Amino acid sequence: MSLLTASRNLVDNLSHHVQKTLYRKNLIKLAPLYNHAKWGDTHRFAQHYQKHFAPLSRKKLNILEIGVGGYDDSTSGGDSLRMWKTYFPNSNIYGIDIVEKQGLEEERIKIFKGSQTDEAFLKEVINETGELDIIIDDGCSINEHRIKTFNILFPFLKDGGIYAEENTHISYWPSLGSNWSEKGEKSVYLANCINVGGSIDLNASHTIMAMYKRLADGLNYQEFLNPGYSPSYFDKHIVEVHFYHNLVIVYKGENNEGSNIIENNTLQPHILQELGVNSLEELAIDFTTATSASNKV
Ligand SMILES: C[S@@+](CC[C@H](N)C(=O)[O-])C[C@H]1O[C@@H](n2cnc3c(N)ncnc32)[C@H](O)[C@@H]1O
């Protein structure tokens, strides 16, 4: 390397370092300094994260991100973990990846190797980290796997915690890498797009977006007129669901506000009185076709 190139690199590195310090509280400017391809032009998550995370940035939090980056290369990845480390200067940053990434660990960044669908592994991780304040899923691109991870990890969020689901495009098309055929046939990829199903049938129930749409309904579970309905853990512990392009953000809390008309999923006595009946049965409404709640989503 020539002296000129070396000094140019040094100046670039210094300027990068100065900018990271300068923009440490502004994710919109900070994020592209860590990974321009992800945050700069194509992924617009930073503006949403800035809105939700800014009030928390100086706190001492436990933050977990699924998907360290770099895929099969164990020496590559960690951009977002390092970005969170700068943005949350008092927090512990944890990462999970199916590929060994421990070489990327730094002070305040710890990385676990395992699959986001392996319940025993995830529980071991929680044993080490303790309950979490923020969970971000930017891992596997399979709907079923993301849904399983949410079911396992959401209960380990603290009250007031935030769960962020990136890349909800997987509801509509699969990621390129894992679905390109060996011969690079585009038709195979396109067939896989159709198989995902969420583009053709927006009510397809198996996608990650469908899960969050159901969880959004759960915000109103106390308004459901459905005698015998048994609220799920998620009904009772989700207080906000924010939908953005390619990103969903969920807040945990006690969802117990109550309704003006419904109590225990049936009409309140004063409403029955106003309707001139003593019980719902007298109204002869058939609730037998109502779907029963499950504790999973
Ligand atoms: C999009 S990259 C993560 C990028 C990183 N969050 C960033 O913004 O810099 C996805 C990562 O998820 C990992 N991954 C894929 N399937 C996984 C699974 N089942 N469990 C854990 N990690 C997985 C991949 O190895 C890859 O490194």
Residue type, 64: L
Whether 60 shows a pLDDT value over 70: the answer reads yes
pLDDT tens profile 250-291? 999 999 999 999 999 999 999 999 999 999 889 888 877 655
Tell which atom from ligand 1 comes closest to the C-alpha of 78.
9
pLDDT tens profile 69-122? 999 999 999 999 999 999 999 999 999 999 999 999 999 999 999 999 999 999
Quote the CA–CA distance of 147 and 213 in Å, as a whole number: 13
pTM: 0.93
Phi (first) and psi of residue 257, to 5 degrees: -70, -30
Contact 126, 96 (CB under 8 A): no
Q: From the CA of 25, how far away is ligand 1's center (Å)?
A: 25
The mean predicted confidence, pLDDT, of the chain is 91
Contact 254, 159 (CB under 8 A): yes
Whether 129 shows a pLDDT value over 70: the answer reads yes
Pocket of ligand 1 (CB under 6 A): 35, 38, 65-71, 77, 79-80, 96-99, 115-117, 138-140, 145
Q: From the CA of 279, how far away is ligand 1's center (Å)?
A: 54
Quote the CA–CA distance of 176 and 108 in Å, as a whole number: 33
* pLDDT score at 177: 58
Q: Residue whose CA is closest, atom 8 of ligand 1?
A: 80
* pLDDT score at 52: 98
Contact 219, 238 (CB under 8 A): yes
* pLDDT score at 195: 79
How would residue 297 be classed by pLDDT, with cut points 50, 70 and 90? low
Q: What is the C-alpha R_g of the chain?
A: 23
* pLDDT score at 158: 98
Q: From the CA of 68, how far away is ligand 1's center (Å)?
A: 5
Q: From the CA of 61, how far away is ligand 1's center (Å)?
A: 22
How would residue 51 be classed by pLDDT, with cut points 50, 70 and 90? very high
pLDDT tens profile 150-181? 999 999 999 999 999 999 999 998 776 555 55
Mean local confidence (pLDDT), 121-126: 98
Quote the CA–CA distance of 71 and 98 in Å, as a whole number: 8
Whether 185 shows a pLDDT value over 70: the answer reads no
**Furthest C-alpha separation in the chain:** 91
More confident residue, 188 or 284: 284
Mean local confidence (pLDDT), 117-140: 98
